[in-house]
Amino acid sequence: MNFLTIDPGCRKDGGLAIALFEDKQINPILTMAFVSSQSSFKQRQTEICRVFSYWLNDNKSIYFLQKVYIEKPQFFDSAKGLTAARSNSLFKLIFTYGRLFQIIESQFEPKNTHNLEINKWKGQLSKSQVEKRVKSACQKEYKGDICDAVGMGLFLKGLL
């Protein structure tokens, strides 16, 4: 089964990251980040969502995509979580997640679109711990948001 994992986002320093997995391979067959240099959140989000929608429409049959998993935003009651909530980062992430989920469900049957909760696939692991585990499993280094998308796929394969 081929599936796509998505780490949603549209920050100035990062964006939407995807990893595409084939059934019998450990490493993803494709990783990609969708970023925008637009100055405002609304412009960045619109550009990233539009480009992702075009990419998904053009590639879902090429890669025989059967399922899509998107990381569901979650509030963490911690110093970092409270800072994100105060800065509106969490709200922006939730808004982006909603738009992406709508794009995905417009191109796939709802039964093939799934949420993946952070605490289920990542737990309390830090970004650097995820990077180390992904590198160990894949024998390849992935960084940042792409590493999270790869980590989600490895979790779904029972390897992380």
Mean pLDDT value of segment 51-75: 88
What is the per-residue pLDDT for 80? 55
CA-wise closest residue to 33 among 58, 54, 8, 50: 8
pLDDT tens digits for range 4-46: 999 998 787 778 999 999 988 999 999 999 999 998 999 999 9
CATH number of the domain that 29 lies in? 3.30.420.10
- CA 22 to chain CA centroid, nearest Å: 17
**Domain extent for 110:** 2-156
pLDDT tens digits for range 64-113: 888 999 999 875 555 554 454 555 677 888 889 999 999 999 988 878 99
Q: Looking at the 3D structure of the chain, how many domains does it have?
A: 1
